[in-house]
Structure 1
Amino acid sequence: MTLDVITYPDAEMMALSLADRIAGELRQQLDAVGPASLCVPGGSTPGPMFRALSGLALDWGRVTVLLNDERWVPGDHPRSNSAMLRKTLLTGPAAAADYIDLYTGDPTPEGAAPGLSQRVAPHLPLTVLVLGMGDDMHTASLFPRAPGLDELLSPDAPPVMAAKGGDEPRITLTAPALQSALHIHVMIAGEKKRAALDAASKADPMQAPIAAFLRDAVIHYAD
């Protein structure tokens, strides 16, 4: 497939430009339709974009924010995606957003998934989805050839499921929930990930899960 790629001179320009674009898409939804939803990745790459976005003028009280996925660890754990998000996005004006924390404190993600699906479902379709990608072409907690990946990719999957394939138990939005988004953005940085993305565009989602989202996505790339 042909990829829609925007190449930026540096990571700072990517962060600022994408933050402005996302704010515009959320604002359009808020002005024309009603409440908006923003689904974002963990990891280090989106941090500068989150900081830029958090200070922009929006009716944040009508925006629901949630992660693509989360490790099954408490919010004060160093590997918690929520901890990163609270420091970067959910600050300043954006602190007024409604945040759906995917970590519930239940003993297992499997036990929490049905309740989380019920909570996430009213916010579908997502207004804006931002995805990252690992060197192995995983996105969210959809890992190549992982046990149960076919269920996570199924059109009939519930919005939220437990996921295997990472280094600890995880919870993730499933492919149909993520694919529902009106606007899909993929952020990548570095030549290695650009090469992986090009390979993914020719691969099956079971081998390269990010491929399930590329047809409708805008790719944002910086060296």
Structure 2
Amino acid sequence: MKLIDYADRDMLAIDLAQQLAGELTAALMHEERATLIVPGGTTPAPIFDALCAADLDWARVDVMPSDERWVPEDHPRSNGRLIRERLLVGRAAAARFLPLYATADTPELALGQLEQVIRPYLPAAVALLGMGEDMHTASLFPDADGLAQALAADAPSLVAIRTAAQPEPRVSLSARALRGSLSLHLVITGQAKRDALSVARNQPPERAPVATILENAEIHWAA
């Protein structure tokens, strides 16, 4: 685990976007296509604003959410909507988007279909993840139904997650799928998340799911 402190959030967004673009460019030098995993939430949006203008061959990049709320793609809480509106614009509009939502009453009914679609695009060349103050990452929440399966060494790429702390069911890439990324970044802002990260480093993944990816990750933090 490597921890990088930034002077402010603007500097974090600009520098991290440049690093992600550089890693994608490097991956495309050796592969025909490269997969980029990105989170939802408010923290990554400024990074998306900078990354979407990067001068790289976006037509060869496949963008996949780390997780998704089980809501239609035009819903305000959809991660896919955020990614389309803040990342897949400008030069990045040429990228291919791989949604983690399908028209079905529950995520369990669509998991097989979705996993079949995303399997050829894993492992990702680059993954950007976030973390909550409760130490969740992607949709791997402490005490969630589905967490044990998501943390298992032989977990499928995609799992259904349900937790009383959230108003809708979710789907999430498993810990195995996230750790498999060739380059893995975790972005956090604010002192509360910095403190949560310190706690997570000494907790098992069952209590602090983000712990499952820390050994592989480069951490980016700004107050």
> Quick check: TM above 0.5?
yes
Q: Offset of 1:133 from its aligned partner?
A: 0.5
Gaps of 5+ in 1: none
Q: Secondary structure at the match of 2:35?
A: strand
Deviations 1:139-176 (A, max 9, x none): 11101122221101112111112111132111111111
Gaps of 5+ in 2: none
Structure 2 CA distance for aligned equivalents of residues 125 and 76 of structure 1: 28
Counterpart in the other structure of 1:31: 29
Counterpart in the other structure of 2:196: 196
Deviations 1:175-194 (A, max 9, x none): 11111100010000000000
Amino acid at match of 2:213: F
Q: Secondary structure at the match of 1:213?
A: helix
Q: Offset of 1:111 from its aligned partner?
A: 0.9
Counterpart in the other structure of 1:167: 167
Name whichever of 148-157 and 59-68 sits farther off. Answer: 148-157
Name whichever of 187-196 and 121-130 sits farther off. Answer: 121-130
Amino acid at match of 2:180: S
1:103 to 81, 88, 101: 101
Deviations 1:202-222 (A, max 9, x none): 110000000000001000000
Deviations 1:57-109 (A, max 9, x none): 11111100010101111111111111111111000110111101111111210
Q: Percent identity at matched positions?
A: 49
Say how many residue pairs are matched: 221
Q: Offset of 1:55 from its aligned partner?
A: 0.6
Counterpart in the other structure of 2:145: 147
Deviations 1:101-122 (A, max 9, x none): 1111112100111111111111
Counterpart in the other structure of 1:218: 218
Counterpart in the other structure of 1:69: 67
Counterpart in the other structure of 2:123: 125
Provide runs of 4+ in structure 1 moved above 2 Å: none
Deviations 1:25-58 (A, max 9, x none): 0000101222100001000010010010001111
Structure 1 CA distance for aligned equivalents of residues 122 and 101 of structure 2: 19
Counterpart in the other structure of 2:83: 85
Amino acid at match of 1:33: E
Structure 1 CA distance for aligned equivalents of residues 140 and 4 of structure 2: 24
Structure 1 CA distance for aligned equivalents of residues 150 and 167 of structure 2: 18
